[in-house]
Amino acid sequence: MGRRITLALDNARLYQELQEAITELENRVARRTLELEATNKELEAFSYSVSHDLRSPLRSIDGFSNKILKDYSQGFDNQAKDYFTRIMNASRKMGILIDDLLKLSRITRMEMKIERVSLSEIARLIVAELQENDPGKPAQITIGLNMTALVDRNLIQIALQNLLGNAWKYSRNQNLISIEFNMRKEENETFYYIKDNGVGFDMKYYDKLFGAFQRLHSVTEFEGTGVGLATVQRIIRRHHGRIWATSEVNKGSEFCFTLN
C-alpha cells in the first residue's frame, strides 16, 4: 500500500510539473507572438516612413531640378546642365532603390496561399514577355514540361521573373541567347535549375551573390539595383527550400533551387 501511495504522489508531482511546464511554454509562445506582432508593426511603420517620408523630398529634388533645367537652361553652360542632369538621374535611381527595398520588405511579410501551380506555364509567360520586350533577339529557350509544385503563385512568379530575367539580361550580348529551365533528381532530392550562356561571374565573389544591393557587374554593363537575387532567396526560404548557383566567367551560370 505504501508503495502505491508513493507512486501516486510521484505521479501527481510529475503531472503538476508537466502542467507547469506546459503553462510556461504557452506563456513563452504568447510573449513571442506579441513580440512578432510588434516587430511586424514596426516593419509596416518603417515601410510607410520610407514610402512617404523619403519619396517626397526625392520627388521635390527631381521636380525642381527638371524645372530649373527647362526654364533657365539658356543661362547655363554645358557643365551646369550636366550637373542638373546628374542630380535628376541620381534622385530617380534612389527612388528605384527605395521601391525595391519596399518590395523586399513586403516579400518577407506577405501572406502565403499554397496551391498546386504549373511552373512550366508561368515560365512560358515570363519568357514570352521577355521576347516581346526584346524583339528580334535570337533565343533558344528550353522549358521542362509539366513542372508543378505546391507554392504561393504570386511569390514563385516573382522568383521566376527575377531568375529568368537575369538569365536573359546577362546573356543578351551573345549572338544566340540560350536558357534552360528544368528539373532533375539527385540523391532523392528534386531541384529546379535555370541555366544560361551569359557572362557568368567569378565564384570567388559568391558570398555577395544573394546580398541585398550587392552587384557583381557594374551598372554601366547591366541595369538593375542588386535586389533581385536577395528577393528570390527570401521567397525560396519562405517555401522551406534552398537556392545556390555555379558559374564561370564568360561561360554562363546555373541557378538551382528546391521547394519543400
Residue (of 94, 202, 192, 100) closest to 146 by Cα position: 192
Rounded Cα gap, residues 215 and 224, in angstroms? 9
Higher pLDDT: 255 or 38? It is: 255
Residue (of 136, 130, 119) closest to 196 by Cα position: 130
pLDDT confidence bin for 60, thresholds 50/70/90: confident
β-partners of residue 114 are 152
Same structural domain, 77 and 185 = no
Same structural domain, 94 and 189 = no
Query: Average of pLDDT values for 33-39?
Result: 63
H/E stretch holding 194: strand 189-196
Boundary-marking domain end, from 109, 127, 162 = 109
Same structural domain, 89 and 4 = yes
Q: Is 107 exposed, middle or buried (0-12, 13-18, 19+ CB in 10 A)?
A: buried
Same structural domain, 93 and 187 = no
Same structural domain, 102 and 128 = no
Whether this prediction's pTM lies above 0.75 is answered by: no
Higher pLDDT: 27 or 160? It is: 160
Q: State the angle between helix axes of 55-72 and 78-109 in degrees (0 to 180), rounded to the nearest 10.
A: 160
| Domain encompassing residue 35 | 1-109
**Helix (H, G, I), strand (E, B), or coil: what is residue 161?**
helix
Same structural domain, 158 and 205 = yes
Boundary-marking domain end, from 109, 136, 158 = 109
The CA–CA distances, whole Å, from 14 to 27, 133, 218 equal: 20, 69, 65
Same structural domain, 3 and 104 = yes
pLDDT confidence bin for 195, thresholds 50/70/90: very high
Higher pLDDT: 49 or 115? It is: 115
Same structural domain, 234 and 195 = yes
**Amino acid 154: pLDDT:** 92
**Grid cell 533565343 — which residue?**
139
Same structural domain, 131 and 250 = yes
Please answer whether residues 197 and 177 qualify as being in contact, where contact means their C-beta atoms are separated by less than 8 angstroms: yes
Boundary-marking domain end, from 76, 109, 142 = 109
Same structural domain, 88 and 136 = no
Higher pLDDT: 50 or 31? It is: 31
Same structural domain, 141 and 231 = yes
Quick one: how far is CA 166 from the chain centroid?
12
**Amino acid 142: pLDDT:** 96
**Count of CB atoms within 10 A of residue 120's CB?**
17
Please answer whether residues 81 and 66 qualify as being in contact, where contact means their C-beta atoms are separated by less than 8 angstroms: no
Same structural domain, 99 and 160 = no
pLDDT in tens, 232-254: 999 999 999 999 999 999 899 99
CATH number, residue 135: 3.30.565.10
Please answer whether residues 164 and 123 qualify as being in contact, where contact means their C-beta atoms are separated by less than 8 angstroms: yes
**Amino acid 129: pLDDT:** 94
pLDDT in tens, 142-181: 999 999 999 999 999 999 999 999 999 989 889 999 999 9
**Helix (H, G, I), strand (E, B), or coil: what is residue 118?**
strand
Q: Count up the domains in the chain and report the number.
A: 2
Q: In the numeric block, which cell numbers belong to residue 38?
A: 510588434
